[in-house]
Amino acid sequence: MLQHVVLLSAVFFVKCLAQDHVDLVTSLPGLTESPNFKHYSGYLQAGPGKYFHYWFVESQHSPSTDPLVLWLNGGPGCSSMEGLLAENGPFHLKDDGKVYINPYSWNKQANVLYLDSPAGVGFSYSTSGNYQIGDPQVAEDNYQALQQFFVRFPSFVRNDFYVFAESYGGVYGPSLSKLIASGTAKINFKGFAVGNGMSSYALNDQSLIYFAYYHGLLSEELWTALNQYCCNSVSCNFYNNSDTSCQNSVFDALYEVENIGLNIYNLYDQCYGGVPTSRYISDTSNLFRQYRFTFKAPTMASIPGVPMCINATAIYYWLNTPSVRTALHIPSSVQSWELCSSTVGDLYQRVYMDMTPFYEYLLQKDLKILVYNGDVDMACNFLGSKWFVEGLNQKLVKPYRPWFYNNQIAGYVAQYEKITFLTVKGSGHMVPQYKPGPALQMFMNYLSDSY
């Protein structure tokens, strides 16, 4: 019997090695230098008929002992390949499609798994063709895919494991983290972080009005109207006010933020492609949903799936090049890659409007939690995240203070019991893209508990 078990184990081990070899990426079109780390691209089964594309990059330092980090972009419906190719991954693209090694890649300190979720996003797919899904099922699918990763790469089971999620990842990250923390899968789970995340629709909407006014985007006349119609002697309610005049004023404020040509992801960055006559940005679908505001019909982007003001042309063309798809082991039957899937976004069912219950559960565990924000993002602004963390009523351990990168103030940080809130000065929505050096420093500070 023992011999039988040993034989089965050996077969399983050989199968894992063979699969790793199949998924190993041996060359990348456009890359002229040889990376000093292994990386893999393939598929993880996330449930019946669901296959999530992953790209796993080993650490440049010590893969066997360095932490393992799962990275999830948001949307809902946006690809984590943006995280790899434009944010904190080791391979970045120039406008001409040439690939270069990112000097600020997070795999300098960790093994990083980039996962496209849910099915229909990026190169991920479902054999049923049904892409209607909601928050609870996405968490379950991500959990299944993660368990499949450890089957595929069993040597990483012992590594410290962290979840990092961005934007609508404010829902993805904590909901997955709760499943990991409460589940039976053998995962050495140590903590999670959310960057510019959607943690509370109410706080995100409420704070955006203040953000817009105090950044000079609203006229005094509009600010006076907002205070007159939406506020009483005690407080203001911009989020779900039943007063029609208040709703009209909020509509006017939101119009100034998202519909006149500002880059909602970075107030002080340019809007790529210029100012269109009408606008559509994927993350604005998360703003003021209570009122069901509608603006003009969207202007079609020249590149499918790319939000207005964002430059993802090089990534789009490079990932859809046949030689690149072959190098990444993407079957020819799989759909073309898009930054954000309108199919998934349109069908997506938002269930979790406030992530407080997830944090309350996870704060009871021995975990390291970080909420960080670029401070000039308007899609998920820093003030709403700050209010969210403060609302968790954790004991303040170290007060709000500056943190540093290259002997310059890089932002501000407040440490509470078991959770930290941090801003990145001058950064927009995608912190590792807009501020790569400070973002890497923040990542290292998080891992070493040395803010």
Which residues are known to be catalytic? 167, 377, 429
Distance CA 196, CA 430 (A): 8
Distance CA 81, CA 66 (A): 22
CA dihedral 121, 180, 329, 96 (to 10 degrees): 60
Q: Which residues fall within 8 angstroms of residue 354, CB to CB, at 6 or more apart? A: 199, 200, 201, 202
Burial level of 333, CB count in 10 A (0-12/13-18/19+)?
Answer: exposed
Distance CA 341, CA 325 (A): 18
Distance CA 449, CA 451 (A): 6
Q: Quote the longest CA-to-CA distance of the chain.
A: 82
H-type alpha helices, 320-402: 322-327, 342-347, 356-362, 382-390
For 306-340, the three-class secondary structure string (H helix, E strand, C coil) is: CCCECCCHHHHHHHCCHHHHHHCCCCCCCCCCCCE
For residue 162, the cross-strand partners are: 69, 191
Distance CA 200, CA 240 (A): 13
Of the candidates 387, 358, 351, 360, which has an alpha carbon nearest to the alpha carbon of residue 206? 387
Q: How many CA atoms lie within 13 A of 372 on its CB side?
A: 34
For residue 52, the cross-strand partners are: 44
Element (H, E) at 173: helix 169-182
SS3 71: strand
Do strands 50-57 and 111-115 pair parallel, antiparallel, or not at all (unpaired)? antiparallel
Structure tokens, 432: 């590792």
E-state strands within 94-227:
99-101, 111-115, 125-126, 161-166, 189-195
